[in-house]
Copies of this chain bind each other. A is one copy, B any other.
């Protein structure tokens, strides 16, 4: 059987097919082409699904709040045209599938499911996937299963406040971890310090220099990691979760962020549990989303 997953993003649609045993069979991608309208996006998704050999079902990860009952996107800042469309029904019609076999999920949640199924989190009882990109996203695996909460919004680590009274966040609060440890925030902090020299704000080069020597670049990534750790400390306290999988573009710097992350967790959480807290890089990269979207079909 081929389980097909689709990761719908603002600029690209990534997709693939995987067997229930976790063997990746094929990958595909397309430009989202938002400017051509919602019908075009729906057609493109259906086309990809057919190409990848979807059999009766499809998993779809979307960058927004999912209304699972209605099978649609409730809110989605980067894909406004897709909001409140009867997404599940439209795709079922185009593909002649049973709507019940079209499974929607928030993309960060899907990525968590993907890393748990076939990536870094394989075999873990509990984990939080943290994505460091434009914002800070999160997806929570509790007791071996994706946990999305009553309204589908659980795992929103990005808006945990770690610096009360700090920088204003888009969400309305101040000092959210997103304002301190997203890729965007880290690049801003780097630019403010003129790091790395020559090309301030270049996070790839910043991480390379931090790996190479104990200079201001390493110090900055230690500070950024610590701020992230402060947020993760609340997850340790509240949920007794001890495995953190760091993904998103800036997740590539997990090796140099990790010492700070662990220091931050240590500083703001309960002592006894810290021995086995681990921060590990995500493994699946850009595949995590579509793999996690496909995961429910494998059961």
Which residue numbers of A lie inside 8 Å of B, CB to CB?
65, 75, 125-126, 138, 140, 142-143, 147-157, 159-164, 171-173, 230, 233-235, 237-242, 267-273
Contact = CB atoms under 8 A, between A and B. Distances in A.
Nearest to A147: B142
A173 to B, nearest CB: 5
Contact of A273 (B138, B153, B241, B267): B153
Contacts of A239: 147, 149, 154, 238-239
Contact of A157 (B142, B153, B238): B238
Nearest to A125: B150
Given A150-B240, A235-B238, A171 B126 contact: no
Contacts of A161: 230, 233-234, 268
Given A140-B238, A142-B142, A238-B140, A268 B156 contact: no
Contacts of A238: 138, 140, 154-157, 160, 234-235, 238-239
Nearest to A140: B238
B240 A159 contact: no
A75 B147 CA distance: 29
Contact of A149 (B162, B240, B269): B240
Contacts of A150: 125-126, 240-242
A234 B272 CA distance: 21
A60 B248 CA distance: 45
A152 to B, nearest CB: 7
Contacts of A234: 160-161, 234, 238
A168 to B, nearest CB: 12
19 contacts: A126-B149, A126-B150, A148-B240, A149-B240, A149-B241, A150-B242, A156-B238, A156-B270, A159-B237, A159-B270, A160-B234, A161-B230, A171-B271, A172-B270, A173-B267, A173-B269, A173-B270, A238-B238, A239-B239
